[in-house]
Structure formats: structure tokens, C-alpha cells
Chains A and B, each alone.
Chain A
Amino acid sequence: DTAVSQTPKYLVTQMGNDKSIKCEQNLGHDTMYWYKQDSKKFLKIMFSYNNKELIINETVPNRFSPKSPDKAHLNLHINSLELGDSAVYFCASSLGRTRSGNTIYFGEGSWLTVV
């Protein structure tokens, strides 16, 4: 039983394309996140949703658009992909807000390569 699952795990695509990464959690959590991990393993939050409401939107280009159809899903759509978008994207979730010390649970990552 995968707690936080994201698809696809690997994605190779050309510059300029539009792609989506899907994420689903079956933990009953109400808060979901997208993180980006660069080639040096540095992790940075991109978005956070609580009960389908956008809570955090870091300085991410407008080409990145999250969509949360319900509490269990948070998808990431990327328009006009650029070489610099190549990274590992992690979906995550938590029960309640992490500012209360709640644990965040990560998916296994989606390796995006833009060529």
C-alpha cells in the first residue's frame, strides 16, 4: 500500500513541451506539497495546499501550475518546459499544518529530464 504515490516516476521530454505529474495520497491527510530537488540534492518547497486551498506558492515561474481536485490529489502541470526544469519532483502530504510539528510524508519522486 503506497501512502503517497506519484506518476510518472521517470519522464524525458523535449524543451517547450507541456507535461503533468500526478500525485495521490491515501493517508487521509489534508495538506499536500510539491518539492523540487536539484542535482545537488537541495530540496525546496514549491507549493502547499491545505484542504484544496493554496497555502504556499514560492517564487515559482507561472509555467508551473498545481491543481488539487480534492484533498487526496495534488497534480503539477508544467508548461513550456525548459532545460533548467530538469530535477526530481517530490509530492508530499501531512495531517495538519507542518508548522505544528506534524510529520510530512514523501512520495518516491518523479525524475524529470528536459532535453
Chain B
Amino acid sequence: GDSVTQMEGPVTLSEEAFLTINCTYTATGYPSLFWYVQYPGEGLQLLLKATKADDKGSNKGFEATYRKETTSFHLEKGSVQVSDSAVYFCALSDPGRDDKIIFGKGTRLHILP
């Protein structure tokens, strides 16, 4: 079945460091891919998305490129800030299935000042 695998956390970085959170997926069809972010005590917010191969989603300095050949959607940011500390979820929705958005297990990110 469909699944999303993302790197285990927590990830701890210093401010202004480069960030990569890996995400790979398996799907029967051609899924749409998402990154959601959950700040402490809040719900999930869409960070970015890509709906077809080679699309790049970007928002707030974060980027992720839909790589069909490697079934990946890695999240990157060139210079992280303390305010980026949160839990990040990679997710997919598969048009070949019903309305289940499949989430990865989340990666907790700590940014040190």
C-alpha cells in the first residue's frame, strides 16, 4: 500500500544552518506530495506542495522538489531560524485511492540560537 517514510528526529541545528529533511514515498498511482508543519500546541499547516513530477514547491524559504525517479520529496532550507522549530510532516494523496492523505511519522526540528 501507499506509504511515506521520513527521517527520524529530532534534528537539532544551529541558527543559519542548512536544513534537509528526507522524505521518500511509495504509491500505486501518481500522487500529490505535501509538507505540513506543526508548531507547538497548534494544528498542522500546509507548508508547500507539488502535484506532478519535477514540480518544486516553495514557501517561507523552504523548498521541495517532486522526484519521481527516486520517489522522493526532500525538504530543504538554506538558513534556518529559531522560529522554524516545529514538527514537519511529509504526506501524499494518491488519486488511485480514496481520500486518505498518508502522513509520515513527522520529524521534530530544534533550532538553537
Contacts and interface: CB of A to CB of B under 8 A. Distances in A.
Interface of A: 4, 31, 33, 40-45, 48, 50, 55-56, 90, 94, 97-109
Nearest to B9: A41
Interface residues of B, number: 26
12 contacts: A41-B38, A41-B105, A42-B105, A48-B99, A56-B99, A97-B98, A97-B99, A99-B98, A101-B93, A103-B49, A108-B43, A109-B42
A103 B50 CA distance: 11
Contacts of A40: 105
Nearest to A107: B43
Interface of B: 32, 34, 36, 38, 42-46, 49, 51, 87, 89, 93-101, 103, 105-106, 108
Q: Which 5 A-B pairs give the minimum distances between C-beta atoms? A: A101-B32, A106-B43, A43-B103, A106-B44, A41-B106
A45 B101 contact: yes
Contact of B95 (A56, A94, A99, A105): A99
